Amino acid sequence: MKKVILLFAMLCQMAVVMAQQSDFQKAVARYKNYSVVTATVTKTDVKKAVAKSDVSEGTLVMKRPSEVSITTGGGSDQLLMQGSKFTMTVKGKKHTTNSETNAQFRTFQTVFESILSGGNKDISQLGDLSVTRRGATLLLTITPQAESKKAARRMLFTSFQLTIDTKTSELRSLRMNGKAGYQEYLFTNFQFK
């Protein structure tokens, strides 16, 4: 009886994962037909210890196969993903890392590459990713798992949340949660080229 229950639970889990992958592929299918996507960005930087949040405007540029650039604050702040290389510029100061050596960004890279390929890159086997359907949106939550306590203390972000509009395939928001607050990017005025 225990084996039957275990088998049933595994089949249910597989069905959920397949449905999530299918929902994701449908939501991002539009990207197959375009090599460049641009949008307007509003960035809100919220720190727990500060009462007032910083808000700035900018642009999002996504290029197939694996380049994502979010620039705000007149160019002084930037998030740049070029394949496995990540560059974060904050008030003109650059920080770089690589998803091959920094596991925190490995799933992040895979998800964006899958979006840009129109869902052709499989995300169903990513252990630190959950996909939740909420009406006409998909919420993708990436919760990186640290390999050690020391690595956990060094992690810049505790989780990433991406919201995708299932009807328009537009990325609505990206939220990067940290220990002392979060950065949220809201995207509007999409252009698919």
CATH no., domain 2-66+98-192: 2.50.20
Structure-derived torsion over alpha carbons of residues 169, 112, 173, 104, reported in degrees to the nearest 10: 160
Quick one: pLDDT at residue 69? 96
Report pTM: 0.87
84 contacts 99 by C-beta, under 8 angstroms: yes
Please determine, for residue 76, whether its predicted confidence score (pLDDT) is greater than 60. Answer: yes
- DSSP strand pairing (159-165 vs 137-142): antiparallel
* Cβ neighbours of residue 178 closer than 8 Å, sequence gap 6 or more: 156, 157, 158
Domain boundaries, the chain: 2-66+98-192
Distance CA 2, CA 40 (A): 53
pLDDT digits (tens, 9 = 90+) for 86-107: 999 988 889 898 988 887 788 9
pLDDT digits (tens, 9 = 90+) for 97-152: 898 888 778 899 999 999 999 999 989 888 899 999 999 999 999 998 877 777 77
Nearest to 81 by CA among 108, 41, 102: 108
